[in-house]
Amino acid sequence: MVAIGADHGGVDLKDVLKKDLAELGYEVIDVGTQGKDAVDYPDFAAEVARLVSTGKAWRGVMIDGAGIGSCMVANKVPGVRAAMCYDDASAVNSREHNDANVLTLGVGLIGVNLARRILKIWLATDFGGGRHAGRVNKIIAVEKQYFK
C-alpha cells in the first residue's frame, strides 16, 4: 500500500504517479487534493506521513511545488524518514543509505518523466543495511529523544 498526496500545484503529477503505481501492482491510498483550488501542503504531507507512521501504508509519496516543505512536515511525524529526491542518485541514496519511507517531489523542479523515473527507482531500491543500519538507528535514536 502506497499513500500519495499533493497540493494544488502537484495534483496533475499525483494523478500520473497514481496510474504508474497501479500499473506496478501497488494499492494506492490517495489523500488528496483532488483539484486546483489552493490548499496547504502541510495538511496532505501530514496525512501521508501519518499513514506510513501507523503502518497503514508501506511507503508514502507527496508532491508540492518544491518538495521541501512537504519533506519538512513529513519528517515531524515519528517513524517517518522523508527524502526529497530530484534525480536518480538521490532516489537510490535515500533508500539504500537512509531507508527513506516517504518520497517528496517538487513539481516545479522536475518534469513528469523524471518524477516517474525517480518513483520507480525509489520503490525498487532496497535498504542496504550493513554500515548504513547503524546510521539509521542513530536517526531513530534522535527521534526518540524528542518523541517519547
User: Is 97 labeled as catalytic in the residue annotation?
Assistant: yes
Name residue 59's amino acid. Answer: R
Give the active site residue among 30, 42, 79, 97. 97
**Alpha-carbon span 25 to 87, nearest angstrom:** 23
How many C-beta atoms lie closer than 10 Å to residue 66's C-beta? Answer: 17
What residues have CB less than 8 Å from 102, skipping those under 6 apart?
48, 49, 52, 59, 60, 61, 62, 71, 74, 80, 81, 82, 83
Which residues are marked as active site?
97
